[in-house]
């Protein structure tokens, strides 16, 4: 494979990668990410509980008064894409008419189309177009070989692909540059094919210089391009330094691979929703628990630590690595051992590799959340169905069901803002879970630790 062939592959990859990357998927450990997100969720809950609903409802009121610029930009973008699509179809129709309305002369592996009027030779898939004047003078074999190189290497496919990409991603200036580079590289490949066959560099260069400049050849065709002539002549006179060029392609390929890792979808295992919800709600209590150095300095015994480490090791390997099932272990026992550990013993078991299974997590899962009731203004704001989706005692409820309660009937609540796929199919932006005293005792009553 020579440099120009490698460059052709690379340019096609460049123009396709932005559309392929979102569909690539890599499996990653989600534990550190979840633990990093939980404090942010906690901060949101505390902020809403302290400041009140004005912070939540004000943005919603402002948005209703503004012009939806996102919608305007989307419509404008679609309009430009439609115009480019019409242009693309018009060019295809132009080539179709040239094929249908002019004389076609079948050859072994292509069809020669003889055109009326003055045109430089050009090609489109298996068709090579020449003017009647050139055909009558017996067209130069080098010129014909040049167009046949376009046909045999199917350069028209690259051009069509680049044009289609531009219809949907015209706003990216790199796509226009890549399209021009693709077409110029096609000329290099065709020139190379001619010179490999004839081995007459000067004769071919003089032939190209003698061609007249034409502007009417179809955009989608491969043609002897006068505008690019100087660059092509310089390329013919250069000696290939394949190592340097190959190095640039390899470096560019690594950049593409890096982009794939950076912008692709990351998939990971997850806990059951009940467990995640509990962990989000318990962080505040756990933070207080860890802040006070109430653990005896003696710490957990060697037997306890060995028992704890054995369970963690079993949860950190194989299929359980990305999807931890806490139902398979004695969660209370693990939390009890964790509570007996010294700071040093906890720190030794809280590294990044098993952060999700750190001692603090088990303590969190066995710590009762601090009771809290909403004030009247917050409780009234929850009744707005365009902002809040309401769960009462673990069941999806209507916002009007809150009328059956007073704010003092609620002994605990959590509020979370919906993001990404969680927003799909929902007409509200926040989810709220409220607990009455009986449900609070049912869910949290048998936990080992009280929140400080």
Q: For the segment 402-441, what is each residue's pLDDT rounded down to a tens digit? A: 999 999 999 999 999 998 888 888 899 999 999 999 999 9
Average pLDDT along the chain = 76
- What is the distance between the alpha carbons of residues 308 and 346, in angstroms, rounded to a whole number? 11
**Nearest partner of 22 among 253, 263, 268, judged by Cα:** 263
Q: Which two tokens stand for residue 427?
A: 């007409």
- DSSP-derived letter for residue 245 is H
Question: CB of 12 within 8 A of CB of 158?
Answer: yes
pLDDT digits (tens, 9 = 90+) for 340-388: 999 889 888 876 555 667 888 888 889 999 999 999 999 999 999 999 9
pLDDT digits (tens, 9 = 90+) for 198-251: 777 777 777 777 665 454 566 666 665 555 676 777 777 666 555 555 555 565
pTM value is 0.48
Question: Residues with Cβ < 8 Å from 298, sequence gap 6 or more?
Answer: 342
- What is the distance between the alpha carbons of residues 29 and 36, in angstroms, rounded to a whole number? 13
Question: CB of 142 within 8 A of CB of 190?
Answer: no
- What is the distance between the alpha carbons of residues 173 and 29, in angstroms, rounded to a whole number? 36
Residues facing 410 on adjacent strands:
436
pLDDT beyond 90 at 79: yes
Q: Which two tokens stand for residue 222?
A: 């491969």
What are φ and ψ of residue 340, in 5° steps? -85, -10
- In the prediction, which pLDDT does 125 show? 92
């Amino acid at each position: 494979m020579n440099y120009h062939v490698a460059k052709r592959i690379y340019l096609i990859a460049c123009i396709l990668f932005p559309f392929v990357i979102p569909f690539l998927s890599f499996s990653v450990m989600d534990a550190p990410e979840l633990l990093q997100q939980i404090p942010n969720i906690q901060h949101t809950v505390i902020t809403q509980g302290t400041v009140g609903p004005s912070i939540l409802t004000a943005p919603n009121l402002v948005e209703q008064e503004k012009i939806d610029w996102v919608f305007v930009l989307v419509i404008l973008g679609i309009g430009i894409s439609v115009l480019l699509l019409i242009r693309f179809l018009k060019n295809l129709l132009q080539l179709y008419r040239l094929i249908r309305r002019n004389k076609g002369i079948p050859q072994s592996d292509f069809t020669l189309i003889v055109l009326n009027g003055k045109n430089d030779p050009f090609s489109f898939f298996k068709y090579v177009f020449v003017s009647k004047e050139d055909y009558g003078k017996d067209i130069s074999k080098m010129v014909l070989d040049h167009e046949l190189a376009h046909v045999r290497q199917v350069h028209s496919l690259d051009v069509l692909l680049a044009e289609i990409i531009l219809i949907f991603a015209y706003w990216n200036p790199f796509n226009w540059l890549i399209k021009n580079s693709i077409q110029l590289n096609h000329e290099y490949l065709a020139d190379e094919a001619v010179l490999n066959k004839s081995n007459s560099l000067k004769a071919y260069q003089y032939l190209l210089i003698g061609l007249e400049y034409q502007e009417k050849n179809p955009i989608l065709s491969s043609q002897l391009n006068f505008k690019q002539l100087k660059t092509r002549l310089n390329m013919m006179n250069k000696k290939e330094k394949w190592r340097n060029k190959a190095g640039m392609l390899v470096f560019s390929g690594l950049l593409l691979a890096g982009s794939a890792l950076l912008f692709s979808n990351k998939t990971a295992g997850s806990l059951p929703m009940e467990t995640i919800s509990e962990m989000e709600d318990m962080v505040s209590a756990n933070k207080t628990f860890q802040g006070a150095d109430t653990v005896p300095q003696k710490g957990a015994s060697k037997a306890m630590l060995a028992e704890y480490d054995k369970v963690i090791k079993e949860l950190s390997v194989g299929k359980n690595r990305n999807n931890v099932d806490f139902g398979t272990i004695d969660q209370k026992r693990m939390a009890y051992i964790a509570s007996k550990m010294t700071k040093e013993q906890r720190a030794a078991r809280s590294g990044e590799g098993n952060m999700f299974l750190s001692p603090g997590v088990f303590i969190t899962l066995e710590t009762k959340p601090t009771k809290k009731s909403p004030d009247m203004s917050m409780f009234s704001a929850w009744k707005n169905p365009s902002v809040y989706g309401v769960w009462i005692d673990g069941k999806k409820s209507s916002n009007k069901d809150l009328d059956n309660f007073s704010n003092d009937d609620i002994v605990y609540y959590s509020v979370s803002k919906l993001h990404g796929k969680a927003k799909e199919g929902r007409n509200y932006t926040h989810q709220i879970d409220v607990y009455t005293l009986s449900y609070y005792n049912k869910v949290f009553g048998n936990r080992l630790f009280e929140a400080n």
